[in-house]
């Protein structure tokens, strides 16, 4: 690599300003961001991203699921590009960094290479994947999963949000149903920078997490059917209370995940009483469950034990419990050569680091099934994410973007 390229640093202030500039799209009063997939704020940030890519000289392409790709030409256009990026959608009460850092750091890498006049050997492609979060439309990371061939495009287009709007309708609503076939754009490698979203790096005072694994995930849709009746007149032994059953389910999820700890987690994150009323015993409740572990056998054991626990609760409380797995993501093992490439650039830049398992799902986990992929983590304050309080330092974001740039340069090569 040329001396210029090996000493190159991204523009920290520009990256920081860019992160805060986009945080206005969907800004919440508590300092977070609410930018639900394919909603009006997602359109605003997409339009902004498209313009920023074009200004940086990138050719922007959009696929049939709305994922955005900004192509920077390389010396050898017969080679597939190195992909880098993440997502710009957020949780309903999300923060400023989850996904945003990786996408805007990818843009910053391109801007830095442009300023330094560096041409890479292979092209680069910066990505904004549609619906990483999975909170408006399930499952999470659906567009990169379709890219990797796990679902057909039509299957994803037909998924509905809670109000019955399909992904296809939502894409048309904001004008982001692109013409490129999903999966048609091939990468030679893919690298994603992200905040850790957990407490390990901060606790150990490490700047960079070299991610070598990702947890497996199962998502469930659950439904409890009991019987609505009068809160004043129905004797306790005669009740078929769906909410009392849910309470037992929540505690069972917690107990079973803890019993498989420390490398297992389980959460009931949503529960909706169909017709809530203070003086009606709840008769119908929809709920969701999320379980994760880096180990497939542990995940399967939790699945089995949860089903047994639910059968017991249903029988004892005389309610029906439907519990359907709607998403199964096996654990990810990132490509060892790419993981080494991340570690080598981290060492060359002199940042403290450790190997780490991703607790969250990421688009890179889907990409890893079809192309060598890797991830870079930086610390976030108190390990908090999926919260408006999510925070990270400018120094750590800058370090992560530098590792991203030097990993990408090592993979793409610098044209002489
Ligand atoms: C994505 O944010 C996930 O890990 O659920
Ligand atoms: Mn994310
Ligand atoms: Mn997230």
- What distance in Å separates the CA atoms of residue 49 and residue 99, rounded to the nearest whole number? 13
**141 and 257 inside one domain:** no
**How many other β-carbons are positioned within 10 Å of the β-carbon of residue 15?**
24
Give percent of the chain above pLDDT 90.
98
Closest CA to 349 of 82, 111, 7, 5: 7
Q: Provide Rg for the chain, Cα atoms.
A: 23
**186 and 85 inside one domain:** yes
**190 and 224 inside one domain:** no
**99 and 179 inside one domain:** yes
Task: Give the count of domains, the chain.
Answer: 2
Domain boundary among 281, 296, 329: 329
* CATH assignment at residue 335: 3.40.630.10
Say yes or no to pLDDT of 278 above 90. yes
Q: Is the CB of 291 under 6 A from ligand 1?
A: no
**138 and 222 inside one domain:** no
Pocket test for ligand 1, best of 134, 139, 288, 366 (most atoms within 8 A of CB): 134
**224 and 305 inside one domain:** yes
Four-CA torsion 137, 141, 142, 146, nearest 10 degrees:
170
Rounded mean pLDDT, 217-245: 98
- What distance in Å separates the CA atoms of residue 216 and residue 193, rounded to the nearest whole number? 19
**350 and 208 inside one domain:** yes
Domain that holds residue 238: 216-329
**323 and 345 inside one domain:** no
Domain boundary among 329, 354, 381: 329
**62 and 139 inside one domain:** yes
**82 and 170 inside one domain:** yes
**How many other β-carbons are positioned within 10 Å of the β-carbon of residue 295?**
15
Domain boundary among 309, 329, 349: 329
Q: Is the CB of 41 under 6 A from ligand 1?
A: no
- The atom number, within ligand 1, closest to the CA of 98 reads 2
Q: Is the CB of 140 under 6 A from ligand 1?
A: yes
- What distance in Å separates the CA atoms of residue 116 and residue 220, rounded to the nearest whole number? 49
* CATH assignment at residue 285: 3.30.70.360
pLDDT at 2: 72
- What distance in Å separates the CA atoms of residue 10 and residue 265, rounded to the nearest whole number? 36
- The atom number, within ligand 1, closest to the CA of 361 reads 4
Q: Are 416 and 74 in contact (CB under 8 A)?
A: no
Per-residue pLDDT tens over the stretch 37-86: 999 999 999 999 999 999 999 999 999 999 999 999 999 999 999 999 99
Which numbered ligand comes closest to the C-alpha of 134? 1
Per-residue pLDDT tens over the stretch 133-180: 999 999 999 999 999 999 999 999 999 999 999 999 999 999 999 999
Distance 360 CA to ligand 1 centre (A): 5
Say yes or no to pLDDT of 320 above 80. yes
**150 and 296 inside one domain:** no
**81 and 173 inside one domain:** yes
Rounded mean pLDDT, 357-386: 98
Q: Whose CA is nearest to atom 2 of ligand 1?
A: 133
């Amino acid at each position: 690599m040329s001396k210029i390229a090996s000493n190159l640093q991204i523009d920290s202030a520009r990256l920081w300003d860019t992160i805060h500039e986009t945080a206005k799209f969907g800004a919440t009063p508590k300092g977070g961001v609410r930018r639900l997939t394919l909603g009006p704020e997602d359109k605003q940030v997409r339009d902004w991203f498209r313009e920023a890519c074009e200004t940086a000289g990138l050719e922007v392409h959009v696929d049939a699921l709305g994922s955005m790709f900004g192509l920077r030409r390389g010396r050898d256009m017969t080679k597939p590009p190195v992909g880098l990026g993440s997502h710009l959608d957020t949780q309903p009460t999300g923060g400023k960094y989850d996904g945003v850092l990786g996408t805007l750091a990818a843009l910053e890498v391109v801007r830095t290479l442009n300023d330094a006049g560096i041409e890479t050997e292979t092209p680069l492609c910066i990505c904004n994947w549609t619906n990483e979060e999975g909170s408006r439309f399930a499952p999470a990371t659906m567009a990169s999963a379709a890219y990797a061939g796990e679902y057909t495009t039509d299957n994803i287009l037909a998924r509905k949000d809670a109000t019955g709007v399909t992904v296809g309708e939502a894409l048309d609503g904001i004008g982001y149903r692109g013409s490129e076939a999903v999966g048609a754009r091939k990468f030679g490698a893919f690298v994603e920078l992200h905040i850790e979203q957990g407490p390990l790096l901060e606790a150990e005072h490490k700047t960079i997490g070299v991610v070598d694994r990702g947890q497996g995930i199962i998502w469930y849709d659950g439904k409890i059917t009991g019987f609505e009746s009068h809160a004043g007149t129905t004797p306790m032994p005669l009740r078929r209370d769906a909410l009392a059953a849910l309470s037992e389910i929540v505690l069972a999820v917690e107990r079973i995940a803890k019993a498989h700890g420390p490398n297992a987690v389980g959460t009931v994150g949503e529960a909706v009483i169909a017709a809530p009323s203070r003086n009606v015993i709840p008769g119908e409740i929809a709920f969701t469950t999320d379980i994760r572990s880096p180990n497939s056998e542990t995940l399967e054991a939790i699945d089995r034990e949860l089903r047994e626990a639910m059968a017991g609760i249903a029988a004892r409380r005389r309610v029906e419990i439907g519990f359907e797995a709607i998403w199964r993501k096996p654990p990810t093992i990132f490509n060892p050569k790419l993981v080494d490439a991340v570690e080598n650039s981290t060492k060359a830049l002199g940042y403290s680091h450790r190997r780490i398992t991703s607790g969250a799902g990421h688009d890179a986990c889907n990409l890893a099934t079809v192309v060598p992929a890797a991830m870079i983590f930086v610390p976030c304050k108190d390990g908090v994410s999926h919260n408006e309080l999510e925070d990270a330092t400018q120094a750590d974001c800058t370090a992560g973007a530098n590792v991203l740039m030097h990993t990408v340069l090592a993979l793409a090569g610098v044209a002489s």
